[in-house]
Structures are given as structure tokens and as C-alpha cells.
Structure 1
Amino acid sequence: MIRFENVALRYDEGEEVLRDVNFHLLPGSFYFLAGPSGAGKSTLLRLLFMSLKPTRGTVHLFGKNTSNLQPEDRAKTRRRIGIVFQDFRLLDHMTTWENISLPLRVHGRKPHEYRDDVTELLKWVGLGNRMDAYPPVLSGGEKQRAAIARAVIGKPELLLADEPTGNVDPQMARRLLRLFVELNRLGTSVIIATHDYQLMRQFGAPRLQLERGTVQIVG
């Protein structure tokens, strides 16, 4: 499902952030992406989401070389991916409920088909009383939970999460990780970037360890 072959990436004329990255992940797998701050975890996720192209090497996703995709095919492929950004990227002119339901609208589903699912998920992540609130009035933790709910609502084939528990308390962090685990049991491949080794130990999944621009699979 995911294959990196001799992937490297540099910004402008600087040093390579990633170099000679090679790994292969099967469909339905669950991995943490670990490494020190600045190691390139966000960069690797952006390569998977196709918002960056490798300087050299190839990234294969769903059996396709992402560098060769036409804009229309890239857009279709992204619809198969749920992503949680560190900066949340919620739309300020939409309510929390509307933000979470947006992926379903993009897929052409009608509100009556998903109203109950969106409402139930918002309650589960502790936002049942914030459905009609707009992002500017949400706290950082509330925005984080809304971004996670938006990423998982469509049951994507691949979920990418960049530090998804960084703005929530430990109890909510464990609750959100259980949500990711359950989604994985339903068939979604999951990659979670985090620096929280205690949380990784609690859930015991293997990890992609990113050090000095290269990746090793641990566990």
C-alpha cells in the first residue's frame, strides 16, 4: 500500500531533510512515526499526502507513483486519506459540525445520511456542546479534537496524524488513540507522528523511527 524507495527531500538548496528512505507498509497496518523534533516527521507525512514531491526516489501509494499523478488523480487519491494537521486547518466560516461533516459532503453524501454519525462522533470526542461553535472560539484542545473527528468521519483507507494528542490531556489522548485503534480494526491504515514515547509504549504498536533523515522500523 505504501512504499518508499530511496526517497530524499531537500528544501531549496539546503541539506536533505530525508535521505535514502526505504520502507514498505502493508494495507491495514498501524505505525507510530517517532523521532526528535526537527527529524522530518511532518515532512514524511506531507510526502504521503502529496503536498510535497520527493527530490529523488519514489513514493508509491495505493499502487501508484505519486509523482506521476495528474491533478485530478491526485485529488481523488487524497479523498482516500484522512489527515490531522498540527495547525488543525479548520474553516473559520463553518461550525464545528459543518467542519467535521465536510469530507462526507465532498464524497457526495447527503446530510440526512450522516447527521447522526457526525453528532455521535462529536459527542464521543467531547464536543457535543460545541457543535454550533465556530473555530475562532474553540480552545486549542477543542480544535485538535475537531480536526481528528474530521479526519476519521469518512473511515478513510489511510489516516495520517501529526502530533494528534499534543493539545489534549493524557486521558483524552488515550481515548483518541483508542479511536485510531478501532478505525484500524475496521481496515484503515494508520500512521501517527508523535514524540510521546510513553503513549507509544501503552499501545505497543511498531514504529517508524526517524533519525538523521533515515527511517528504521522498530518493533
Structure 2
Amino acid sequence: MIRFENVGLRYGMGPEILRDISFHLPERSFQFLSGPSGAGKTTLLRLLFMSLKPTRGLITVFGRDLSRIPRNELPMLRRRVGIVFQDFRLLDHMTTYENVSLPLRVRGREEASYRSDVIELLKWVGLGERMHVLPPVLSGGEKQRAAIARALIEQPEILLADEPTGNVDPPLARRLLRLFIELNRLGTAVVIATHDVALMEQVDARRMVLSGGRLEIHD
């Protein structure tokens, strides 16, 4: 689905943040991305999401060379990749239901065509009773689940999650992990960036470890 070959990234004239990154992301796969703070995990997720382009090397996305994809085609490709940010990025003036359905509204779809899907997804992530609540009223865990639901509403082939359990307690972290496992079982490739060793030990999955700008893979 996505392949990196000797990818490097630097900002301006500064040193390379990522160096000689090579790996492939298979269909229906599950992997953790770990490493110390500042190692470049979020930057690598942004490359996977196509919101950054590498300074050097080759990234192939769904069989296409990223460097040759016209800018106006990138939004369509990004719809095949869902992303959950560390800061949730929910809009405080919109209800949980409105936040989750926002990507579909932006695409111009009529509410009648997606309302039942949004409600079903909110129930699946445990927010069926909170769909009409504004984000400031939600707990940290509820905000996280709303952000996950928003990333899933377009049924992405790949889900990227940046420290999705960083602000929740261990029981909720396990619940969120079960959501990701179930999503993967249904066919979505999952990449979870985390420094939570206890979380990673709960799943037999590939680990990609960033350190010093380089990536090591442990299958």
C-alpha cells in the first residue's frame, strides 16, 4: 500500500530529521511505531499521510510515485488514509455527531445519505449516548474516541494514530486498543505511534523503532 525507499527529510538547511528510511506497509497489517520523544514519529506519520514530501528518496503510495502525483489529486488519495492527531482537533462549536460527520459534509454529501452510518459508528466506539454533546463537555477518552470515529467515517484503507492512548488511563487505553484490533480485523491497516511499552506488549505486531533519525523493524 505504501513503500519507502531510502527516504530522508530535512527542514530548510538543517540536519536530516529522518535518514535512509526504508519499509513497506502491507494491506491489512498492524504495526506500532515507537521511539523516544523527538525521534520523528509524528513526522513519519505526516509522510505516510502525504502532508509532507521527502527531501530525498522514493515514496510509493497505492502503486504511484508520490513525487509525480499532481497536488490536486492528493486530497482524493488522503481520503484512503485516516489519521488521529494527538490534540484531537475537534471543533468545540460542533456536537460529537457533527464533528464525526464533518469529512462527509465537506465532500458535499447529503445528511440523509450518511446519518445512519455516523450513528452506528458512534455506537461502535461507545459514544452513542454522547452524539449531541459538545467537545468541551466530553472527557479526554471520549474526545479520543470521537477523533477515532471521525478518522474512520470515510472507511480508510489505512489508519494512522499518533499517541492515541497518551492522555487516557490504562483501562481506557486497553479499550481503545481493542477498537484498533477490531478495525484491523475488518481489513484496515493500522499504524499506532506510541511510547507505551505496556500497550505494545498486548499485541503480537510488527514494531518499527525510530532512533537517531533511522528506522529499525522488528517483525
Q: Same fold (TM over 0.5)?
A: yes
CA contact (8 A) 1:97 1:119 kept: yes
Kindly indicate whether the alpha-carbon contact (under 8 Å) linking 2:7 and 2:55 is maintained by their aligned counterparts in 1.
yes
What SS does structure 2 have at the residue aligned with 1:9? strand
For 1:173, give the aligned amino acid.
A
Cα deviation, residue 127, structure 1: 2.8
Q: Distance in 1 between matches of 2:45 and 2:21?
A: 13
Residue in 2 that maps onto 1:42 = 42
Q: TM-score, normalised by structure 2?
A: 0.92
The alignment status of 1:87 with 2:108, answered yes or no, reads no
Deviation at 1:185, TM superposition (A): 1.7
Give me the whole-angstrom Cα distance separating, in 1, the residues matched to 2:73 and 2:113.
26
TM-score by length of 1: 0.92
Unpaired segments of 5 or more residues in structure 1? none
Distance in 1 (alpha carbons) for counterparts of 2:16 and 2:144: 30
**How big is each residue's C-alpha offset from its partner over 1:19-70, in whole Å with a ceiling of 9 and x where there is no partner?**
0001122111111111111110000000111111111112111111222221
Do residues 99 (structure 1) and 106 (structure 2) align? no
Query: Secondary structure of 2:97's partner?
Result: helix
- Partner residue, 1:114: 114
- 1:61-86: CA deviation from partner (whole Å, max 9, x where unpaired): 11112222212210110111110011
**Offset, 1:107:** 5.1
The CA deviation string for residues 141-174 of structure 1, in whole angstroms up to 9 with x for no partner, is 3322211111122221111110111122222211
Task: Give, in whole Å, the separation in 1 of the partners of 2:189 and 2:105.
Answer: 22
C-alpha distance in structure 1 between counterparts of 2:31 and 2:107, whole Å? 27
Q: Using the alignment, how far apart are the partners of 2:170 and 2:67 within structure 1?
A: 38
Separation in structure 2 between the aligned mates of residue 24 and residue 46 of structure 1, nearest angstrom: 15
For residues 26 and 148 of structure 1, the distance between their equivalents in structure 2, rounded to whole angstroms, comes to: 21
Contact 1:66 1:74 in 2 (8 A): no
Match of 1:54, SS state, is coil
Structure 2 counterpart of 1:18, one-letter code: L
CA distance in 2, matches of 1:137, 1:57: 45
Gaps of 5+ in 2: none
Task: State the Cα distance separating 1:13 from its structure 2 match.
Answer: 2.2
2: distance between equivalents of 1:199 and 1:17? 26
Identity of aligned residues (%): 69
* 1:76 alignment partner AA: M
Name the counterpart of 1:133. Answer: 133
Shift of 1:15: 1.5
- Indicate if the aligned counterparts of 1:89 and 1:147 stay in contact, CA closer than 8 A: yes
- Note the C-alpha offset of 1:109: 4.4
Equivalences for 1:1-219 in 2 at 5 Å? Answer: 1-106=1-106, 109-219=109-219
Q: Give the superposed CA RMSD.
A: 1.8
Q: Is the 8 A contact 2:125 2:179 kept in 1?
A: no
Matched residues, number: 219
2:5–2:58 Cα contact (<8 Å) kept: yes
Moved more, 35-44 or 112-121: 112-121
